[in-house]
Structure 1
Amino acid sequence: MDMNFFLTILSLVLLQLDLINYEISHARNGPLLGKSLCQDTMEDIIEAHVSMLEWHMKSRKFGMTAAQLEALQLKSVEVLESLTATFPNKNGVANGWKFEKAHSILHKVRELILFGWSENFSTQGPEHCHIDFVKKIGHCTNNKEVFLTILDEAFGISEDVAKESAKNDCVPCELGLRYPL
């Protein structure tokens, strides 16, 4: 009896797979249910962030050769162009971006050549070194503005509404800093 039950279930599963594969192979091309497809509004933002993460990983490599530094500089320009295209209204304006000016990305190779590494600069150029050495000690850093800027760009939420909803919505991280959830 158990074997018959198992064979019945197996045959039903295989029949369902056949029916699904048949429907997929005979589906018409074009939009689903006669509705046109729309582009995901987050796609460009996600691609810009992925490009930035790839650049950031490459910039953390130690002992780079001149050719690798040149490739990193080309990637820096590519990332800057991606950010400019993705966030056109915020380009290069410190109070508009609410985080580092995008052009400081181009300073990374200079930092590596001058100092040999850039770990203490938080990818923000040598002029922002005080963030690590002064602000963190006094617990004066708060990346909520970065979060709110991306939230506003992605979802069109006004800054006042986002600030009000995120006012006390923070958790301490392992460094004792406060970041938005």
Structure 2
Amino acid sequence: MLTVFAGALTAAVAAPAFAHCDSVDGPVAGAALRALDARNVNLALPYAPAIAEPEITQAFALAQAARGQGAEAKALADRWFMETVVRLHRAGERAPYTGLKPAGTDFGPAIPAAERALATGEAGPLTAMLAQGVEHGVAERMERARAAREAPSEPRTAAEVPHARARVSAEFAFIEYVEGIHQAMKGAAAHGGAEAGH
């Protein structure tokens, strides 16, 4: 029943939320650069699980040494260290790392809304946006499923089979969407205690 979980959640919140930490101007890469500038690896360590600390610390030392070799070496060292911290952050989330996204990448409205909620302490606009997205997604899929119910659920002839198949597909899409949102809510609660989660 969870085959369309990812699609359901994406439609519900209108953004690929987990991708935010992959961008050059995201919080993980920003922490990596701040650590290099301040010569303090501790600024980057909270963004990856504890098991990654030795690799980050070693990469930090190498990057610091390379930074002193000129502007080009500094740019390469900075990029490499950012990629290292982001890659290990993603590994801590059990998520794939596909490289740094460019600065200014649009990840949709959910991530900025979540960041505003954290900054202001006001969850109302965020929950309203999410509720509106879920309400729209449920209504749209339910309407499709209800319309498809004009077809028989148990076809008696070969000609009725494609219509019955469309009905089953629409009904399952609706149910899986709802179940995907429900599982996402349960998963978010469990993920809240995860180390260096995002």
TM-score normalised by L of structure 2:
0.23
Higher helix proportion, which one?
2
> Rg: which structure is higher?
1
Choose between structure 1 and 2 for higher RCO, CA contacts under 8 A separated by at least 6 residues: 2
TM-score normalised by L of structure 1:
0.25
